[in-house]
Amino acid sequence: MRLLIIWFGANDAAVPASVQHVPLPQYIANMKQLIQMIKNPESPYYAPHTQIIIITPPPVNEIQRTVFLAGQKPPLELDRGFELTKSYAAAAKKTGEEAGLGVADVWTKIWDRAGHKESALDKYLSDGLHLTKDGYEVGNLS
């Protein structure tokens, strides 16, 4: 394996009442464990030539997400939060940097492209959570 991409956080950062929620300390520990599985010479999965890239979760548009969930049958409560997801993105970035890995900070890239306006995130998110074509292409923009 030449490349391992770790892109976790959007589901882990679901609101605590959600079955998808992973508490932030556990999320960080899980990421570190995945990294160590590849980088630790004592691991049965040790792969010294494998490059690892961490991708942060993107921002959440609570406005757009609320509208999307309200339109479901039955209507659903908001399951993600802007600030909560931001904390998971920061943790992913910090964990990757501390391990000396490459980090694709999707959170910041999209947030900057949206002009730091939550209402402008709808260009990059289809339902307040999942990326649109423009969202996936943010990394290709200069």
User: For the chain, what are the domain ranges?
Assistant: 3-140
- CATH class, domain 3-140, is alpha beta
The side-by-side arrangement of strands in the sheet containing 102-104 is 3-6, 51-55, 102-104
Instruction: Find out whether 132 and 58 touch, Cβ atoms under 8 Å.
Output: no
pLDDT band at 1 (very low <50, low <70, confident <90, very high): confident
- pTM to 2 decimals? 0.93
Q: Which residues of 37-69 are buried (b: 16+ CB within 10 A; e: fewer)?
A: ebbeeeeeeeeeeeebebbbbbbbbbebbbebb
| pLDDT of 9 higher than 80 | yes
